[in-house]
């Protein structure tokens, strides 16, 4: 046969035999066809062993044909384009695809972790919890080894070069699932005129019809699919999204979809994202998410060659692949017979159909009529073959179903199909908040009461025949459209083949084996996490009776497949073990995502520079050219210091500070928050939100204000300027600009609605250039000739307007350095012009730009606080020594009552002080260092306070610090100690001002 | 993500909004003359019901207006949104 695989039929399937694709699996080269999945192409090439199991490293083969695959997890790609944890059953092959098994070392054929299987009695459920808890604190040593042993795939070795998109969409009806029910629903809704989005996780619509052989209207089912799609294509308002998984159902009918735009191409085309997440807000949702076949729990039910019956049927009908030459079929229900009959028709020898039921009914008779051997009332008691199925041992079931009766018959086979029934995929329904109901006949949960505007149709709703699926789909689509206000249109039902008479399934949650549970072959429930029936029973014996505890203890239902094949058998086994009913045990919570979603898709464009906007001042480019080192303050990028000729930070900062103290410094203060406040009640409003008074502030003057929260603690501070009778300009700290505005808006809109005040954020409308230092006035005089700069005419805490370098400007004589200082505010677009002009004019005065770090040193030398350094959300004005700013005479202000609370009046509260270190010490204390009286006391020591700001002060010639110390103002002169790693630093408590304590420079 | 109807702008995605906690908490008029315990109740004590909850929302990335909402904390159903000063709606029985 051809190199495209010995197990490929000459005809049939939905693959394009003209388009051959060469791909690589674990380094070996294979050929498949366009339309193949990695799984189907591997099976066609006879590759049985594709993975090692998670815990025991047992050899594993492909078990399913869809999203539920627990075994065949692969990693795709290399270098930066890597995606782990993909199901081989969902990976579309393309030319050059390179895939590798995940959980094996050194290779899938010979895996050293296999030893775990032979010592598995030592590795029971909860093994990690029981073993690695001792000695205490050693977990970090164990974790490294355990993580290496647990094959989770590898991350990319560098940044992902691809783009990922997010898209928001609104529609009348979202249909999740494009099988017969979903197509019927979308068709009905769209025909009624509704705007419809139809999505399906596969590359083609059709769902179960892709892998089945049912006829609709006398033709192959896929012909009906093609016809329906063709009709819908001409409807005006339908979006059809293949390769798109609905992975999360959130509140208010928001459904998240992940569209794999370019995964099947290898690399995205130019301009194309790799994946796209859709946020769909739908008026109505129809879930048509299908059902997943359950494996039976029998001894050694994981041997490569063991596969779900429906999966084998899909590989046959959709891909033209037979998964073996001689198959045995083991079933609890009717559905496996279709697989047996179709495989037989394709030339596969059916060795036996082993049916748990004593009376297999119409399907059994049909199989027998075709010459198949049906062994009723029997079970597969054992599987022979370790790397691949070689034979099964069949035995009669005892009447109770819990034991075997009579002798065993050995049946040779290389493929073992099994079916334990079908579990409706209620994941999205459950995520939506819907309640589940247990259906005894199905042996599964089905949707009960919906919690959102939503319907279920098809096998996710418990419908198990094509006729039911189509009927439910048409009805759900029509009703959904009607609920959106459209006149319902119910398309006519197409003609279907007569259904075979159904025979109830026999749900046997643990199939008995030759030995008691746990003693013979492993009866896997959760194949991905290697959880067996014995593990679950033991957990129940150990007291894990809640299904949520059982999950966490045994890890059943965890992992990338989230228990799609295992959850129901696991809770049924728990129910049996605890004597409870299945609905009483209930399910674990279904959480998004339904299938794994890449981090790239989640992030979308919110990546790198787009993660968060960067805010630049108008002078940013100058700072960059000057070689500034930047620091983020919230979203603002601020120049921290300007190193010259490779200066280290402390050298640059000291130089900048010295210049600002001896000549003149220039500083970009544009980031300060600025709120324009207007209205007849502006002054009254400011009196209410600041501790001090602003209504009596004269026009032309500025005042520093403290803003409290209602609880009495400092919230923000800054200078507010009175621009006119009814017009103020408030400055906030850079980081608090937005919270302060929101707080003020809140108060005006919700509390003091009678006040006539308007607020406008103008933070970015003005550029601010600060000149500070002894020559600040001289420099300003070079820039302006229409402002009287005489200290008497322009005193501290006042402002003037005029032209600065020919630019209309507002000049504030305020200071955050403790030195003579002017802040020049101009329209933002003039900022860079003013900056250049000031630098040029300042050259003869030795002007030096200083950054944020120097600003901090300068303000700390003066003892000025910074909100967030000296305050921590539990700091009062009195703690800061600013009690004088609290105007108790005002009838009301925010925080007035809060300040009177008992705890805020305690005498031993921490108070702001300064700290000086011992002579000769050049190392500043670390900020946050705790201070104690006696460094020799036993741990835990009694804390006396903490360091809030700490710098080396070039002005003082020594490190300085601000600190909050219990009853600190009464302790000046005392020595406190900071116990630090490897040393203890002594510090003397001093007044929190190290520069110009009487304000001569400030007011000069 | 909730769909919230701003009384001024109409239905918008939750990411445009910011929740401001429980609504209809009156700021004590005569705060200086009430006990610490009473003031603490105003400052700190908030309802945390499983059920209908009156709460404040701000259309922060929209019109920047504050408004009130009646929301069910378990189902997230928003029964009403209304402007400040409007009469508060009765919770459904």
**How far is it, in rounded angstroms, from Cα A389 to Cα A381?**
14
Do the chains contact at A902 and B36, CB–CB below 8 Å? yes
Measure Cα distances from A498 to A207, A277, A337, A369, A467 in Å.
21, 41, 16, 18, 9
Both ends of chain B: CA-CA distance in Å?
25
The H or E element containing residue A743 is helix A737-746
Whether A491 and A477 have beta carbons less than 8 Å apart is answered as: no
Q: CATH number of the domain that B45 lies in? A: 3.30.2270.10
B73 interfacial to chain A (CB closer than 8 Å):
no
Write out the residues of chain A at the interface with chain B, using a CB-CB cutoff of 8 A. 168, 250-254, 279, 281, 433, 451, 710-711, 742, 745-746, 749-751, 753, 892, 896-898, 900-902
Which residues, 6 or more positions from A356, have their beta carbon under 8 angstroms from its beta carbon? Answer: A296, A331, A332, A377, A378, A379, A397, A401, A506, A508, A511
Q: Measured between CB atoms, which of A279, A281, A742 is closest to B58?
A: A742
Q: How far B92 CA sits from the closest chain A CA (Å)? A: 16
B35 interfacial to chain A (CB closer than 8 Å):
no
B52 interfacial to chain A (CB closer than 8 Å):
no
Which residues, 6 or more positions from A137, have their beta carbon under 8 angstroms from its beta carbon? Answer: none
pLDDT of residue A108: 67
Tell me the DSSP string of A144-203: HHHHHHS------SS---S-EEEEEEEEEEEEE--SHHHHHHHHHHHHTT--EEEE-SSS
Which residues, 6 or more positions from A96, have their beta carbon under 8 angstroms from its beta carbon? Answer: A22, A23, A24, A266
B92 interfacial to chain A (CB closer than 8 Å):
no
Phi (first) and psi of residue A628, to 5 degrees? -65, 145
Phi (first) and psi of residue A401, to 5 degrees? 75, -5
CA B33 to chain CA centroid, nearest Å: 27
CA A715 to chain CA centroid, nearest Å: 32
Q: How far A905 CA sits from the closest chain B CA (Å)? A: 12
Q: How far B8 CA sits from the closest chain A CA (Å)? A: 14
Do the chains contact at B32 and A896, CB–CB below 8 Å? yes
Measure Cα distances from A701 to A386, A425, A756, A807 in Å.
89, 70, 22, 22
Q: Are strands A531-532 and A524-526 parallel, antiparallel or unpaired?
A: antiparallel
Low-confidence ranges of chain A (pLDDT < 50): 1
**What secondary structure letter does DSSP report for A818?**
S
Give which of A401, A344, A396 is closest to A373, Cα–Cα: A344
User: Contacts of residue B64 in chain A, CB cutoff 8 Å?
Assistant: 745
3-class DSSP assignment, residue B54: strand
Q: Are strands B10-13 and A326-331 parallel, antiparallel or unpaired?
A: unpaired
pLDDT of residue B44: 96
User: Contacts of residue B27 in chain A, CB cutoff 8 Å?
Assistant: 710, 751
Phi (first) and psi of residue A633, to 5 degrees? -120, 100
pLDDT of residue A407: 87
**How far is it, in rounded angstroms, from Cα A23 to Cα A666?**
64
The 3 state secondary structure assigned to A555-617 is: CCCCCCCCCCCCHHHHHHHHHHHHCCCHHHHCCCCCCCCCCCCCHHHHHCCCCHHHCCCCECC
How many domains are there within chain B? 1
Is B77 a domain residue? Answer: yes
**Pick among B26, B39, B42 to test the A interface (most A CBs inside 10 A):** B39
Give the CA-trace dihedral at A412, A413, A419, A425, to 10 degrees.
150
Whether A358 and A377 have beta carbons less than 8 Å apart is answered as: yes
Whether A19 and A4 have beta carbons less than 8 Å apart is answered as: no
How many Cβ pairs within 8 Å bridge chains A and B? 54
Q: Flag whether the ipTM exceeds 0.85.
A: yes
Both ends of chain A: CA-CA distance in Å?
99
Is B90 a domain residue? Answer: no
User: Contacts of residue B34 in chain A, CB cutoff 8 Å?
Assistant: 897
pLDDT of residue A932: 98
Q: Measured between CB atoms, which of B1, B18, B27 is closest to A751?
A: B27
Q: Measured between CB atoms, which of A433, A711, A750 is closest to B75?
A: A433
Pick the residue from chain A with its C-alpha nearest to B31. Answer: A897
Is B89 a domain residue? Answer: no
- Cα-only R_g, chain B: 15
The 3 state secondary structure assigned to A254-305 is: EEEEEEECCHHHCCCCCCCCCEEEEEEEEEEEEECCCEEECCCCCECCCCCC
CB atoms inside a 10 Å sphere around CB A621: 11
Task: Please say if the pLDDT value at position B42 is more than 80.
Answer: yes
Pick the residue from chain B with its C-alpha nearest to A279. Answer: B1
pLDDT of residue A5: 77
Which residues, 6 or more positions from A892, have their beta carbon under 8 angstroms from its beta carbon? Answer: A688, B31
**How far is it, in rounded angstroms, from Cα A942 to Cα A824?**
48
The tokens for A77 are 């790609």
Measure Cα distances from A170 to A58, A208, A259, A726, A838 in Å.
47, 28, 16, 46, 54
Give the residue numbers spanning the domain of B10: 3-82
Largest CA distance in chain B: 43
Do the chains contact at B40 and A901, CB–CB below 8 Å? yes
Pick the residue from chain A with its C-alpha nearest to B23. Answer: A750
User: Contacts of residue A742 in chain B, CB cutoff 8 Å?
Assistant: 18, 58, 60
What pTM did the predictor assign? 0.91
Average pLDDT over residues B49-62: 97
Do the chains contact at B39 and A745, CB–CB below 8 Å? no
Is B93 a domain residue? Answer: no
Expressed in percent and rounded to 5, the helix, strand and coil fractions of chain B are 15, 35, 50
Which residues, 6 or more positions from B26, have their beta carbon under 8 angstroms from its beta carbon? Answer: B42
User: Contacts of residue B31 in chain A, CB cutoff 8 Å?
Assistant: 892, 896-897
B20 interfacial to chain A (CB closer than 8 Å):
yes
The tokens for A629 are 């080192």
- Cα-only R_g, chain A: 38
B85 interfacial to chain A (CB closer than 8 Å):
yes
Q: In what order do the strands lie in the sheet with A798-804?
A: A798-804, A807-813, A821-827, A766-772, A665-668, A848-849
Question: Residue ranges of the alpha helices (H) in A810-964?
Answer: 831-842, 852-862
pLDDT of residue A3: 59
**What is the crossing angle of helices A567-578 and A533-541, to 10°?**
40
3-class DSSP assignment, residue A662: helix
Can you say whether residue A436 is alpha, beta or left, with left for phi > 0 and alpha for psi between -120 and 50 degrees? Answer: beta
Do the chains contact at B3 and A254, CB–CB below 8 Å? yes
The H or E element containing residue B37 is helix B36-44
Do the chains contact at B84 and A753, CB–CB below 8 Å? yes
Is B88 a domain residue? Answer: no
Q: Measured between CB atoms, which of B3, B32, B66 is closest to A897?
A: B32
Q: How far A945 CA sits from the closest chain B CA (Å)? A: 26
Do the chains contact at A251 and B76, CB–CB below 8 Å? yes
Pick the residue from chain B with its C-alpha nearest to A894. Answer: B27
**How far is it, in rounded angstroms, from Cα B48 to Cα B69?**
15
pLDDT of residue A149: 56
pLDDT of residue A386: 87
Q: How far A533 CA sits from the closest chain B CA (Å)? A: 36
Expressed in percent and rounded to 5, the helix, strand and coil fractions of chain A are 25, 30, 45
pLDDT of residue A752: 96
The tokens for A232 are 């819908």
Q: Measured between CB atoms, which of B1, B65, B66 is closest to A250?
A: B1
Which residues, 6 or more positions from A462, have their beta carbon under 8 angstroms from its beta carbon? Answer: A424, A439, A442, A444, A446, A447
Is B33 a domain residue? Answer: yes
Is B26 a domain residue? Answer: yes
**How far is it, in rounded angstroms, from Cα A422 to Cα A468?**
15
pLDDT of residue A1: 42
User: Contacts of residue B85 in chain A, CB cutoff 8 Å?
Assistant: 753
The tokens for A402 are 């819990």
**How far is it, in rounded angstroms, from Cα A124 to Cα A522?**
12
């Amino acid at each position: 046969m051809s190199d495209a695989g010995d197990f490929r039929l000459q005809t049939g399937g939905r693959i394009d035999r003209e388009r051959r694709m060469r791909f690589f699996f674990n380094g070996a080269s294979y050929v498949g066809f366009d339309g193949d999945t990695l799984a189907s192409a591997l099976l066609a090439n006879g590759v049985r062993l594709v993975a090692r199991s998670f815990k025991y490293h047992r050899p594993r083969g492909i078990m399913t044909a869809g999203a539920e695959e627990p075994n065949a997890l692969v990693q795709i790609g290399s270098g930066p384009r890597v995606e782990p944890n993909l199901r081989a059953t969902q990976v579309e092959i393309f030319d050059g695809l390179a895939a590798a098994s995940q959980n094996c070392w050194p290779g899938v054929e010979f895996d050293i972790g296999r030893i775990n299987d032979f010592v598995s009695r030592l590795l029971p459920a909860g093994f990690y919890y029981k073993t690695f808890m001792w000695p205490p604190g050693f977990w970090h040593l164990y974790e490294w080894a355990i993580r290496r042993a647990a094959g989770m795939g590898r991350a990319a070795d560098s940044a992902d070069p691809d783009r990922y998109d997010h898209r928001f969409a609104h529609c009348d009806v979202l249909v999740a699932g494009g099988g017969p029910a979903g197509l019927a629903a979308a068709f009905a809704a769209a025909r009624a005129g509704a705007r419809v989005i139809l999505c399906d996780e596969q590359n083609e619509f059709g769902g179960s019809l892709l892998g089945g052989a049912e006829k609709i209207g006398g033709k192959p089912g896929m012909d009906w699919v093609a016809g329906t799609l063709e009709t819908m294509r001409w409807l005006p308002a339908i979006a059809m999204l293949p390769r798109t998984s609905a992975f999360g159902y959130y509140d208010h009918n928001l459904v998240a979809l992940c569209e794999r735009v370019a995964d099947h191409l290898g690399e995205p085309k130019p301009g194309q994202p790799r994946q796209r997440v859709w946020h769909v807000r739908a008026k109505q949702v129809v879930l048509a998410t299908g059902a997943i076949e359950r494996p039976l729990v029998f001894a050694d039910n994981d041997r490569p060659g063991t596969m779900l019956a429906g999966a084998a049927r899909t590989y046959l009908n959709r891909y033209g692949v037979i998964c073996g030459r001689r198959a045995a079929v083991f079933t609890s229900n009717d559905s496996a017979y279709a697989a047996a009959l179709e495989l037989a028709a394709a030339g596969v020898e059916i060795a036996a159909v082993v049916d748990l039921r004593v009376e297999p009914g119409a399907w059994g008779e049909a199989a027998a009529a075709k010459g198949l051997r049906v062994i009723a009332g029997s079970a597969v008691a054992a599987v022979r073959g370790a790397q691949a199925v070689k034979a099964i041992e069949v035995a009669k079931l005892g009447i109770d179903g819990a034991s075997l009766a009579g002798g065993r018959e050995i049946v040779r086979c290389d493929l073992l199909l099994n079916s334990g029934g079908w579990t409706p995929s209620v994941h999205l329904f459950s995520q939506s908040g819907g309640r589940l109901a247990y259906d005894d006949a199905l042996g599964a949960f089905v949707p009960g009461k919906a919690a959102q505007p939503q319907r279920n149709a098809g096998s996710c709703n418990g419908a198990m025949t094509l006729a039911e699926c189509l009927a439910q789909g048409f009805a759900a689509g029509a009703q959904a459209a009607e609920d959106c206000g459209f006149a319902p249109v119910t398309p006519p039902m197409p003609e279907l083949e007569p259904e075979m008479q159904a025979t109830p399934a026999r749900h046997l949650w643990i199939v008995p084996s030759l030995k008691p549970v746990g003693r013979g072959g492993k009866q896997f429930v959760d194949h991905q996490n290697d959880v067996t029936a014995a593990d679950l029973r033991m957990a129940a014996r150990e007291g894990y009776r809640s299904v949520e505890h059982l999950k966490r203890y045994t890890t059943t239902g965890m992992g990338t497949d989230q228990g799609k094949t295992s959850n129901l058998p696991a809770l049924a086994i728990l129910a049996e073990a605890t004597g409870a009913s299945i609905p009483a045990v209930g399910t674990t919570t279904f959480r998004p995502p339904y299938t794994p979603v890449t981090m790239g898709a989640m992030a979308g464009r919110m990546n790198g520079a787009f993660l968060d906007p960067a805010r630049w001042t108008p002078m940013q480019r100058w700072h960059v050219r000057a070689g500034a080192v930047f620091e983020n303050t919230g979203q603002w990028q601020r120049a921290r210091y300007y190193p010259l000729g490779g200066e280290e930070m402390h050298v640059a900062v000291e130089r900048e500070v010295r210049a600002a103290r001896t000549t003149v410094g220039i500083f970009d203060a544009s980031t300060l928050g600025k709120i324009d406040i207007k209205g007849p009640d502006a002054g009254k409003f400011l009196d209410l939100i600041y501790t001090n008074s602003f209504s009596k502030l004269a026009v032309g003057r500025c005042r520093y204000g403290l803003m409290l929260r209602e609880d009495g603690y400092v919230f923000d501070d800054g200078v507010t300027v009175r621009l006119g009778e009814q017009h103020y300009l408030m400055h906030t700290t850079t980081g608090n600009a937005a919270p302060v505005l929101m707080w003020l808006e809140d108060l005006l809109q919700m509390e003091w609605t009678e006040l006539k005040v308007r607020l406008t954020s103008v933070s970015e409308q003005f550029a601010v250039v600060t000149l500070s230092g002894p020559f600040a006035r001289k420099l300003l005089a070079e820039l302006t000739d229409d402002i009287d700069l005489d200290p008497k005419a322009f005193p501290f805490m006042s402002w003037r307007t005029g032209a600065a370098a020919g630019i209309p400007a507002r000049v504030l004589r305020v200071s955050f350095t403790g030195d003579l200082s002017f802040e020049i505010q101009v329209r933002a677009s003039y900022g860079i012009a003013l900056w250049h002009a000031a630098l040029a004019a300042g050259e003869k005065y030795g002007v030096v730009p200083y950054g944020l770090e120097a600003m901090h040193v300068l303000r700390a030398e003066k003892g000025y606080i910074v909100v967030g350094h000296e305050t921590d959300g539990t700091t009062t004005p009195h703690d800061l020594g600013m009690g004088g700013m609290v105007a108790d005479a005002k009838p009301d202000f925010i925080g007035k009552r809060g300040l009177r609370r008992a705890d805020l009046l305690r005498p031993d509260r921490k108070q702001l002080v300064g700290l000086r270190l011992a002579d000769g010490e050049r190392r500043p204390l670390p900020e946050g260092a705790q201070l104690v009286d006696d460094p020799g006391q036993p741990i835990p020591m009694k804390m006396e306070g903490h360091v809030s700001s700490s710098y080396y002060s070039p002005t003082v010639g020594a490190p300085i610090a601000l600190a909050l110390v219990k009853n600190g103002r009464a302790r000046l002169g005392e020595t406190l100690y900071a116990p630090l790693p490897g040393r203890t630093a002594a510090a003397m408590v001093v007044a929190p001002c190290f520069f110009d304590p009487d304000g001569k420079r400030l007011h000069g | 993500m909730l769909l919230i109807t701003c009384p001024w702008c109409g239905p918008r995605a939750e990411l445009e909004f910011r929740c401001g906690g429980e609504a209809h908490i009156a700021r004590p008029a005569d705060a200086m003359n009430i006990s610490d315990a009473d003031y603490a109740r105003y400052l700190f004590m908030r309802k945390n019901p499983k059920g209908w909850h009156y709460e404040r929302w701000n259309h922060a990335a929209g019109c920047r207006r504050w408004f009130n909402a009646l929301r069910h904390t378990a189902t997230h159903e928003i029964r009403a949104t209304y402007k400040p000063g409007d009469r508060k709606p009765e919770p459904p029985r």
